[in-house]
């Protein structure tokens, strides 16, 4: 069964560098378009041709299996020629600069480049040097727009709406681009956001982001409709930000006991990959309230929607 695209929705910008700058209408439009692709992805015949003849390059300076695979599938299902470049490729290891890589790729006339980099602002820097469209797949601690979009889609599908919900984002907020993009998006869509973390993992000035702040899981999860857990990177555990994994799990890790502080019908999310036993225990991760697997499914659909919406603004679209 082929689904005719709704030609009315266009993301009238060249790049998707972040949620910052997207309007309520932009976000709703992308989520609605993504819904169509969720249906498509469940068919046998998953292919569309809207990106046929287009070249998509995945340029991942930071290793990522799920996001890169998700974008690759998304591009191919839309009919694009997809090329993957990651840190395992030799020139990036040889120390070629970000700018030189951008200029080299640009000379090959790609239509869309999807970039992930470990430094905040790197994707924007690259976007200034290329003629094609750029999608930010995560830049340092700054933004990860497609993650926030897929999280929003997951929430909307399970709760029916986003506005008015209380979303608790728990974990290393300081270093998290997922947290930042989600905060911006959820606020734009009328949800209430609360961040929960030890003080050393909260960014200075976080109160001014329009979020509530809690330093304790009981207080933090009270009345929450959605509990979003963030991954704690191992480097943070060496005593510089928090003293140990066991102390972190004891006070901030999500287990059944802490989940009970939230609403009885609260749902659990995690951007992955999970550190089981550190920020979340397996019973909860695999339990009835977990949306973690659905998030991955939504990821491909959302990325197809983003690619489709951006491609409608490409020259000769």
**Contact positions toward another protein, by CB under 8 A?**
97-99, 117, 119-122, 124-125, 139-143, 177, 180, 203-206, 208-209
Residue number with CB closer to another protein (109 or 208): 208
Nearest in space to 126 (alpha carbons), one of 57, 27, 198, 176: 57
Q: Give ∠ CA 213-292-27 in degrees, rounded to 5.
A: 65
Nearer to another protein, 18 or 299 (CB): 18
In whole angstroms, give the CA distance from residue 163 to residue 105.
41
Question: Strand 226-229's sheet: what is its strand order?
Answer: 212-214, 192-196, 166-170, 226-229, 267-269
Among residues 200 and 313, whose Cβ is nearest to another protein? 200
- Which residues make Cβ contacts (< 8 Å) with residue 279, sequence separation at least 6? 170, 171, 229, 230, 231, 232, 248, 249, 252, 253, 254, 270
- Shorter beta-carbon distance to another protein: residue 230 or 300: 230
Q: How far is the CB of 120 from another protein (least distance, A)?
A: 4
Cβ 242 to another protein, closest distance in Å? 15
CB of 49 to another protein, least distance (A): 36
User: What is the closest distance, in whole angstroms, from the C-beta atom of residue 193 to another protein in the complex?
Assistant: 14
Kindly state the smallest distance separating residue 124's Cβ from another protein, in Å: 6
User: 140 vs 116, 119, 228, CA distance in Å?
Assistant: 8, 4, 20
In the bound state with another protein, the residue whose beta carbon lies nearer, of 70 and 176, is: 176
Query: What is the rounded CA–CA span in Å between residue 59 and residue 89?
Result: 10
Using the minimum distance from each CB to another protein, give the nearer residue, 134 or 206: 206
Could you give the count of Cα atoms lying within 13 Å of 146 in the half-sphere of its Cβ? 32
**Pairing verdict, β 55-60 and 81-86:** parallel
**Cβ 142 to another protein shortest distance, Å:** 3
The residue (of 122 and 254) whose beta carbon lies closer to another protein is 122
Contact 260, 202 (CB under 8 A): no
Give residues with Cβ within 8 angstroms of 109, minimum separation 6.
55, 131, 132
Smallest gap from residue 275 Cβ to another protein (A)? 21
């Amino acid at each position: 069964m082929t689904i005719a695209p709704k030609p009315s929705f266009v993301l009238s910008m060249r790049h998707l560098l972040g949620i910052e700058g997207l309007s309520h209408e932009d976000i709703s439009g992308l989520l609605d378009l993504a819904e169509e692709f969720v249906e498509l992805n469940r068919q046998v015949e998953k292919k569309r041709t809207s990106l046929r003849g287009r070249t998509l390059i995945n340029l991942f300076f930071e290793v990522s299996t799920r996001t890169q695979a998700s974008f690759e599938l998304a591009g191919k299902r839309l009919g694009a020629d997809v090329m993957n470049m990651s840190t395992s490729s030799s020139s990036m290891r040889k120390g070629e600069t970000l700018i030189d890589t951008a200029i080299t790729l640009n000379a090959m006339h790609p239509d869309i480049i999807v970039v992930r980099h470990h430094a905040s602002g790197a994707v924007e820097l690259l976007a200034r040097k290329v003629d094609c469209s750029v999608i930010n797949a995560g830049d340092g601690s700054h933004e990860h727009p497609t993650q926030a979009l897929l999280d929003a889609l997951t929430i909307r599908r399970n709760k029916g709406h986003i506005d008015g919900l209380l979303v608790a984002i728990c974990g290393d907020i300081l270093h998290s681009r997922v947290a930042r993009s989600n905060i911006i998006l959820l606020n734009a869509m009328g949800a209430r956001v609360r961040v929960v973390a030890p003080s050393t993992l909260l960014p200075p000035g976080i109160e001014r982001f329009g979020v509530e702040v809690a330093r304790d899981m009981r207080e933090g999860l009270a009345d929450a409709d959605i509990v979003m857990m963030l991954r704690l990177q191992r480097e943070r555990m060496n005593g510089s930000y928090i003293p140990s994994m066991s102390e972190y799990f004891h006070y901030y890790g999500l287990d059944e006991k802490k989940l009970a502080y939230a609403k009885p019908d609260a749902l659990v999310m995690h951007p992955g990959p999970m550190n089981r036993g550190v920020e979340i225990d397996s019973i909860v991760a695999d339990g009835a309230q977990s949306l973690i697997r659905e998030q991955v499914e939504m990821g491909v659909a959302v990325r197809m929607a983003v690619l489709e919406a951006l491609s409608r603004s490409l020259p000769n679209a």
